Chains A and B, each alone.
Chain A
Amino acid sequence: MNPNSIIPTLLATAWLLPLASFVFIVFFGPRMGRHGQRAATVATAAIIAACLLSFTALGLWLFQHPLGHAAHGDHAAAVAPLAGDWYALGSFGALTISVGYYIDALTIAMFCMVTLVASCIHVYSNGYMHGELHDVIDALAPLSNGEPMRRHGRFCRFFQCLSLFCFSMLGLVIAGNVAMVFVFWELVGICSYLLIGFWRERKSASNAANKAFITNRVGDFGMIIGLMALWASLGTFSFSEIFSQVRPAATEHRLQVPDGMIKLAKQGEVAEIVKRHSGDLDAAQKEIAAQLPDWRAQGYGYGLLMLAGLGIFCGCIGKSAQFPLHVWLPDAMEGPTPVSALIHAATMVAAGVYLVGRFYPVFTPEVLLVIATVGAITLFMAATIALTATDIKRVLAYSTVSQLGFMMLALGIGGWIAGLFHLFTHAFFKSLLFLCSGSVIHACGTNEMPQMGGLKRRMPITALTMLIGCLAIAGAGIPTVVGLSGFHSKDYIVAQDLSFWSHNPGFGGIFFFVALIGAAMTAFYMFRLWYMTFAGNPRDGYVHHHAHESPPSMTVPLLILSLMAIVAAWNIPFTSIGLDGLLHQAQPLGTAQTVTGQLVNVTMPAEHLAHAHENSLKAEWMAFAVALTGFILSTLFYGARKWNPDEVRRAFSPIYKFLLHKWWFDELYRKVFVQPALRVSDWVAAIDKKGLDVIADGLARLVEWTSRIDDWIDRVFVDDIINRLARWTYSLGISLRVLQTGNIRQYVIWITVGTVALFVLMSMYWDYAIAGI
């Protein structure tokens, strides 16, 4: 077997193992060990096996396609992805929808990242969810009589959902066409729904689950439009076919409007030509083909291409919690913390970024500008909200939204590698941060940071690993020498921003400054979190007294992830093998060029320009400076307590309120969308009550009267006959009863007397005719 067939097999096995675990737990979960305790073992074993398989595939891939020092933008060095179909779901003439795979370095890297993070989180959940191993008394879900609710533990259900999620996420990554991506897209959505609502008896949890699901529907609606635009014009969902049509080799993989889209945009003319050549299709096609370059030059079909790109991006907005659909992610923190770490920080929300990266060849510069703008808004807004949040998980949630904004911004301004690089490093340090916060919540029993403080001595491992996480996300490092993973990825983004600014002198600066301010705020709110939680004196004696370090099943994953948070961006020592090189190899054909928009005057600089020495040096120092500023400010306010944050709060009270209420987004949406919807439903309810109900009630009353009459007839006539018969039978029985004396001798006498009487009777009327003689 050659690696080209082994790698898809390995990855498919890694993909299907969690599904097997899910099915197994569905059928046997509750019977596995006490309270389904063994379900965790099955799920964990499945994901660890998947992780090993993924890394084997990575090794094979690197063995086959060594990471060269390919010149930037060198197409000859590009490695062709492995693409193919496993199973055709349906074909309609030339059109097919299939289950397939599209494997390049990005796919394999995603597989390794997802399975590694998921393995850590599975192990962690073994410790974190032990409360579900017995009956639970949930004080946060009061019954109608005000007493806390009692329910059975749902340990195996949790792992069942985790397995399903891993299967869906890996399926999304390996998918060979957009339709399959959409299917798994929805599957991760439903897993997210199930896990956010894991404590479904709590009102807040079930609301959050609904909010997440419904908000994602909005984005998916756009995605379906994008899918329709692609299907209607290109007649395929397959990645490789779409890419080869959008960026044909004939144009050196430059973006061009594919023929299908031009034909769809000019369908009137096309129909005209076909009509003119009645019956002669070949001639008609030849004439259309001759017209195509003209039409393309006139810009026909460009809108359709933009529509397809924007539609796909709409889905990504929903899934990656970008402005304006970011509102669901902070609420999603109602789920158990491992879920927040796995789904709502590291993997699922990164799926949107991944899809933007995967679909990058289709995006026109205009669409990229939209992506960058959305990313910039999201990044700034979420970072400001994170400054004031006091719930430890909410700070992390807004930080996630903000970092996702960073990725989108980077992708949008042409930094394909920068954006995806940040996706990977972020997955490690953010899952680490979430798991640390889970450890803290586990120990303290509260999410509120103002009740914590001074936990450093109580939980040294958690404090240390969280510090590493904070340093990584803030981008700590020594410029030009070495840094944690976040340092490198953030550098790339800032460098790309800088390069973008130099190509677009006017508005390009906005993106640059937003990114810098965002980076400063990131450092600020992360250290604010750390100081409030671990440093200083205990604020709540009770909480502090009961806090304790978590068991090894929870601290070991923390240590592994903190190691990854440090080294994820580094090359393996003494080699050039690393994430950076892997992503360079994975960069889609033709996207490493400088491009200019057709409708908007915007230039997306090629990525290698950002790595020019001068540019990257400047970016590195700037990123370092702003991160340091954020860190120092945070230390002054919360660490050393030289300045009092309350004074700032009072001085900027309106801004503070604005941020505390999350820019009034929830209130705005309630006014604009939720309340009108409720009002419409009120109307519909009123129509139901006053219109349909009256008719239904009238019919019911008619039926009731008919049945009353029937009832009367039954009672008076039918019943009477039956009753009389019964009464007669009864009285006959009563009168015959006296004959049954129970005295045998009497019976014998009766027999004798009866016999004699028969004889007498017969002798009186005897005739030989009776005997037939």
Chain B
Amino acid sequence: MNPLVAPIGLSHYLVVGSILFVCGVLCMATKRNVLGVLMGIELVLNGANLNFIAFGSPMLRADQSNSIGLDGQMIALFVIVLAAAEAAVALAIALNYYHTHATVDVDQANELKG
């Protein structure tokens, strides 16, 4: 069956989510700019969010009597809030890092290495 013409289902979501995730990881692994790394993190989190929402679909649930069916969306919302908090902290670190080292290159941040 051609996935491009099949009706949109769970696997489409998963595929998009994993592409986002892999993009994020690659971004984190390759960017030297600290802001690029932060963006990679955002991508990873959103890739995971897509998975939560996809798996939270009411279609996949056998028992729907004692739930309003929004579990996945709820967790996704939590993740978004966490991402915002994390971004705030990370940006503060980045800013201070820039102040002290006059650069945003993460490779320069190796003073704590063993």
Cβ B114 vs Cβ A745 within 8 A? no
Q: CB < 8 Å: which of B32, B111, B112, B113 contacts A745?
A: B32
Cβ A748 vs Cβ B28 within 8 A? yes
Name the prevailing secondary structure of the A interface residues.
helix
Indicate if B88 sits at the interface (CB-CB under 8 A).
Answer: no
* Complex alpha-carbon distance, A740 and B30, angstroms: 18
Residue on A nearest B29 in the bound complex, by CB: A748
Cβ A737 vs Cβ B110 within 8 A? no
Indicate if A481 sits at the interface (CB-CB under 8 A).
Answer: no
Cβ A743 vs Cβ B114 within 8 A? no
* Complex alpha-carbon distance, A737 and B112, angstroms: 11
* Complex alpha-carbon distance, A744 and B40, angstroms: 12
Residues on B with C-beta less than 8 A from A752 are 25, 29
Contacts known (A748-B25, A752-B25); A741 close to B110, Cβ less than 8 A:
yes
Cβ B114 vs Cβ A737 within 8 A? yes
Indicate if B43 sits at the interface (CB-CB under 8 A).
Answer: no
Q: CB < 8 Å: which of B28, B106, B107, B113 contacts A740?
A: B113
Contacts known (A742-B109, A744-B109, A745-B106); A736 close to B25, Cβ less than 8 A:
no
Cβ A744 vs Cβ B106 within 8 A? yes
Per-residue B-contact encoding for A38-58, CB less than 8 Å = 1, 0 else: 000000000000000000000
Residues on B with C-beta less than 8 A from A737 are 114
* Complex alpha-carbon distance, A743 and B110, angstroms: 6
Contacts known (A745-B30, A748-B28, A752-B25); A738 close to B106, Cβ less than 8 A:
no
Rank and list the top 10 A-B pairs by shortest CB-CB distance, nearest first.
Answer: A742-B113, A742-B110, A737-B114, A740-B114, A748-B29, A748-B28, A744-B106, A745-B29, A740-B113, A749-B29
* Complex alpha-carbon distance, A739 and B106, angstroms: 17
A-B contacts counted at CB < 8 A amount to: 38
Cβ A738 vs Cβ B114 within 8 A? yes
Indicate if B37 sits at the interface (CB-CB under 8 A).
Answer: yes
Cβ B30 vs Cβ A741 within 8 A? no
Residues on B with C-beta less than 8 A from A748 are 25, 28-29, 40
Per-residue B-contact encoding for A721-740, CB less than 8 Å = 1, 0 else: 00000000000000011111
* Complex alpha-carbon distance, A748 and B44, angstroms: 12
Smallest Cβ distance from B41 to chain A, in angstroms? 10
Residues on A with C-beta less than 8 A from B112 are 740, 742
Residues on B with C-beta less than 8 A from A738 are 114
Interface size class of A (residues with CB under 8 A): 10 to 19
Residues on B with C-beta less than 8 A from A740 are 112-114
Contacts known (A736-B114, A738-B114); A743 close to B28, Cβ less than 8 A:
no
Smallest Cβ distance from B17 to chain A, in angstroms? 15
Residue on A nearest B37 in the bound complex, by CB: A744
Smallest Cβ distance from A514 to chain B, in angstroms? 103
Cβ A742 vs Cβ B28 within 8 A? no
* Complex alpha-carbon distance, A473 and B1, angstroms: 143
Residue on A nearest B109 in the bound complex, by CB: A742
Smallest Cβ distance from A578 to chain B, in angstroms? 98
Most central of A739, A740, A741, A742 by chain B CB within 10 Å: A742
Most central of A739, A744, A749 by chain B CB within 10 Å: A744
* Complex alpha-carbon distance, A749 and B29, angstroms: 6
Residue on B nearest A737 in the bound complex, by CB: B114
Residue on B nearest A740 in the bound complex, by CB: B114
Per-residue B-contact encoding for A699-740, CB less than 8 Å = 1, 0 else: 000000000000000000000000000000000000011111
Residue on B nearest A752 in the bound complex, by CB: B25
* Complex alpha-carbon distance, A741 and B106, angstroms: 12
* Complex alpha-carbon distance, A739 and B113, angstroms: 8
* Complex alpha-carbon distance, A739 and B112, angstroms: 12
* Complex alpha-carbon distance, A743 and B107, angstroms: 6
- In the complex, 13 of the A-B residue pairs with CB atoms within 8 angstroms, ordered by the A residue number, are A740-B114, A741-B110, A742-B111, A742-B113, A743-B110, A744-B28, A744-B106, A745-B28, A745-B32, A748-B25, A748-B28, A748-B29, A752-B29
Residues on B with C-beta less than 8 A from A751 are 25
Smallest Cβ distance from A729 to chain B, in angstroms? 15
Cβ A741 vs Cβ B29 within 8 A? no
Residues on A with C-beta less than 8 A from B106 are 743-745
Smallest Cβ distance from B104 to chain A, in angstroms? 12
Q: From residue 29 to 45 of chain B, which have CB atoms closer than 8 A to chain A?
A: 29-32, 37, 40
* Complex alpha-carbon distance, A740 and B107, angstroms: 13
Residue on B nearest A744 in the bound complex, by CB: B106
Q: From residue 295 to 319 of chain A, which have CB atoms closer than 8 A to chain B?
A: none
Smallest Cβ distance from B42 to chain A, in angstroms? 14
Smallest Cβ distance from A490 to chain B, in angstroms? 100
Q: From residue 61 to 117 of chain A, which have CB atoms closer than 8 A to chain B?
A: none
Cβ A739 vs Cβ B114 within 8 A? yes
Given contacts A741-B113, A744-B28, A752-B29, 20 further A-B contacts (CB under 8 A): A738-B114, A740-B113, A740-B114, A741-B110, A742-B110, A742-B111, A742-B112, A743-B110, A743-B113, A744-B37, A744-B109, A745-B29, A745-B30, A745-B32, A745-B106, A745-B107, A748-B40, A749-B29, A751-B25, A752-B25
